[in-house]
Amino acid sequence: MRVALTAGGTGGHIFPALAVYDALIAEGGVEDVRFFGPDNRGERAMVEPRGIPFEVVNAAGVRGRGPVALAKSVLRLAGGTFAAVRKLRAARPDVVFSTGGYASFPCSVAARVLRKPLVVYLPDVTPGWAVRAEKRLATRMATTTEAALEFLPRKRTVVTGYPVRAVFFATTREEARAQLGIAADEKVLLVAGASQGAQAINAAVFAGLEELTRAATVLHVTGLADFAEAVERKGALGEREGRYQPAAFREDLPLLMVAADLGVMRAGASVLGELPAAKLPSILVPGTFAGGHQRDNAGWLANEGAAVVLEETQIGELAARVRALLGDGDQLGAMRAAAAKLARPDAAASIAKLVREVAKR
């Protein structure tokens, strides 16, 4: 079987594509897998280390663009679609698998032009413009939650959960803490705004750092832009300096999530799978960009009892909210149990099975 992968330019779209890739490879019978997408948001760096050939197909977003920028984006999408037709024809895939985002659109259209079967996966609770368009092209669809079914063709859609990396299920909380050198009884707060950091969340952490480090050991993934300031803030903590551990990026983020008592994060698609897999209670601060889909993701987890939502306009309350939750063992325990109930360890295998079924048609 030959497979073409295509995905948006964020981890919330790329990580599930890679998780499904791992499941396909583990099952065997895969002759060739290639990733098709733009090369301007770090996609290549995420894909090629896995041994997956990367084919450049340009794309551009259209949401919120002015007339001139919109025209440029449409031309870029058209050029990307022509390139995708040419490159897919050469690759001869048996099936195309898309996880949405604007970067996936040219390859999904090319699949339709070439009459290649197309499986589209919606990671978020509500679809963006790309998946709303791709659902008309898809042979079959998969999605994370039942809540998304109202936006998708029900007869062609299966609810699979969000596919996460196997590492989330490979380590217990006790083992994760032992690997990180964290005592079993230590309260641990993980702050990880997004793959590139989140400025509003970082600023709130800096403002409340003294209060936060009294309540817990703070593991803070800042992104590159705010890392230098985090280092300065750490140096000013005096005797509590060791209770603040900032980093621009952590390759072992799944381990940190499993080890933590509470997380503070944005609400990109990945939280729908990774927070349940890590059994991590969370305070979610949804971003207001990209059509506001993060608010729907955060709301779904909150409605299930696994998270609380803090709007960015309330970000000044972050330290107090964290302290209150960490001091309420009963609520944290209930949130942890609620998160665990949402975990879908078989999500990647379920989507891989769907991809195989469609490829055989």
How confident is the model at residue 168, as a pLDDT? 92
- The backbone torsions φ and ψ at residue 98, rounded to the nearest 5 degrees and listed phi first, read -115, 140
Confidence of residue 288 (pLDDT cuts 50, 70, 90): confident
> Which residues, including other chains, have CB under 8 Å from residue 34's CB and lie 6 or more apart?
3, 4, 5, 52, 53, 54, 55, 91, 93
pLDDT score for 70: 66
Q: Which residue has the higher pLDDT, 85 or 58?
A: 85
Tell whether the model's pLDDT for residue 196 goes beyond 60. no
Are 70 and 216 in a shared domain?
no
- Is residue 291 over pLDDT 60? no
- Could you tell me if 335 and 352 lie in one domain? no
Mean predicted confidence (pLDDT) in 244-271 = 95
Confidence of residue 195 (pLDDT cuts 50, 70, 90): low
- Claim to verify: residue 334 and residue 352 sit in the same structural domain: no
Residues of the domain holding 206: 167-341
Rounded Cα gap, residues 200 and 178, in angstroms = 31
* 290 pLDDT more than 60: no
Residues 54 and 202 in one domain: no
Claim to verify: residue 132 and residue 181 sit in the same structural domain: no
Distance CA 212, CA 207 (A): 10
Q: How far apart are CA 300 and CA 346, in angstroms?
A: 20
Residue 62 pLDDT greater than 70, yes or no? no
Looking at the structure, tell me whether residues 246 and 116 fall in a common domain: no
**126-167: pLDDT as tens digits:** 998 889 999 999 999 999 999 999 999 999 999 999 999 888
**Exposure pattern of 294-330 as b/e (b: 16+ CB <10 Å)?**
bbbbbbbbbebbbbbbbeeeebeebbebbbebbeeee
CA distance 166 to 26: 12
Residue range 2-29: mean pLDDT, rounded: 90
Residue 234 DSSP symbol: H
More confident residue, 292 or 44: 44
Q: Indicate the DSSP class of residue 8.
A: -
Other Cβ atoms less than 10 A from the Cβ of 360: the count is 9
Q: How far apart are the first and last CA of the chain?
A: 12
**Same structural domain, 70 and 132:** yes
Q: Please report, for the domain that includes residue 59, its CATH number.
A: 3.40.50.2000
Whether residue 355 has pLDDT greater than 90: yes
Number of domains in the chain: 2
Same domain for 223 and 100: no
What local confidence, expressed as pLDDT, does residue 341 receive?
97
Q: pLDDT-derived band of residue 98, with 50, 70 and 90 as boundaries? A: very high
The pLDDT score that the predictor gives to residue 140 is 98
* pLDDT range class, residue 292, cuts 50, 70, 90: confident
Q: Note whether 87 and 171 are same-domain residues.
A: no
Calculate the alpha carbon distances from 297 to 147, 231, 273 in Å.
10, 32, 11
Are 200 and 297 in a shared domain?
A: yes
pLDDT higher than 90, residue 45 = no
> What's the mean per-residue pLDDT of the chain?
92
Is 219 in contact with 189 (CB distance < 8 Å)?
yes
The 8-class DSSP code of residue 194 comes to: -
**Pairing status of strand 54-56 against strand 95-98:** unpaired
Q: Which residues contact 323 (CB under 8 A, 6 or more apart)?
A: 211, 212, 215
As a whole-number percent, the residues of the chain with pLDDT over 90 amount to 79
> Does residue 106 register a pLDDT over 70?
yes
298 by DSSP, 3-state: which?
A: helix
Same domain, 111 and 14: yes
* 6: number of Cβ within 10 Å: 33
Q: Which residue has the higher pLDDT, 80 or 184?
A: 184
pLDDT score of 63: 62
| Token output for 77 | 């999408």
Q: Are residues 15 and 47 in the same domain?
A: yes
The whole-number average pLDDT for the span 337-350 is: 97
Calculate mean pLDDT across residues 196-225. Answer: 92
Q: How far apart are CA 121 and CA 107, in angstroms?
A: 14
pLDDT, average across residues 221-239: 93
Confidence of residue 197 (pLDDT cuts 50, 70, 90): low
